Amino acid sequence: KAGVTQTPRYLIKTRGQQVTLSCSPISGHRSVSWYQQTPGQGLQFLFEYFSETQRNKGNFPGRFSGRQFSNSRSEMNVSTLELGDSALYLCASSYRLAANPSTDTQYFGPGTRLTVL
Amino acid sequence: QQQVKQSPQSLIVQKGGISIINCAYENTAFDYFPWYQQFPGKGPALLIAIRPDVSEKKEGRFTISFNKSAKQFSLHIMDSQPGDSATYFCAASLPGGYNKLIFGAGTRLAVHP
């Protein structure tokens, strides 16, 4: 079974631009979560989607948004990029039968390395 | 209340030795405690996880010890190997957290041959 895939793997943008990152979960997984990883702040939760609905959100500004499609693929968007948005953005997927709120085993992709100049 | 404090920041162990990484938390409502391993250029990979109704869980060379009263849990890597050299993260989540993991700061482990 293929793992979580993220595209692109590397991205360079300039301040003020916007960016869209893509995540394809493991086949059959319906929950997708996004995390930001930086040397200073570590791994921080951005948001989680299940069946196209955002169910939880971390403490990030509204410039960070996401969505999930009917095939469970997810995208996250960052608008008006700032230097501090430079990070590794990780997507994780998990298998879930129903929309219960507990925590499943999450499988992470390799991440998208975003550099903002 | 939402933090998970991890120590040490870095660890050097000789091949064959035991690596021990500790985490502490404040929120007694946390109900799921996983450990992740991350190699450079890769995403974190789940190693082992525990729920608070169990005091210890072992999978191969990896053991989680959980102390509910002290609000601490630790990862023990027995017979550490150079291939175990990686960054290790503990994490915790709340019931009703919808997969939101709160991570510790990470421990960089180096196993010397």
For residue A95, what pLDDT is reported? 85
**Which one, of A16, A26, A104, lies nearest residue B34 by Cα?**
A104
| A92: chain B residues, CB-CB within 8 Å | 43, 99
* B92-107 pLDDT, tens digit each: 998 877 788 999 999 9
Nearest to A103 among B32, B44, B106 (CB): B32
* A33-66 pLDDT, tens digit each: 999 999 989 999 999 999 899 988 999 999 999 9
* A23-35 pLDDT, tens digit each: 999 999 999 999 9
Region B1-22: mean pLDDT is: 94
| B44: chain A residues, CB-CB within 8 Å | 43, 90, 108
Region A85-104: mean pLDDT is: 82
Confidence of residue A68 (pLDDT cuts 50, 70, 90): very high
For residue A97, what pLDDT is reported? 61
For residue A52, what pLDDT is reported? 93
Nearest to A33 among B36, B41, B99 (CB): B99
* B35-81 pLDDT, tens digit each: 999 999 899 999 999 988 899 999 999 999 999 999 999 999 999 99
Query: Number of H helices and number of E strands within chain B?
Result: 0, 11
What is the spatial order of strands in the sheet that B4-7 belongs to? B4-7, B19-25, B72-77, B62-67, B56-59
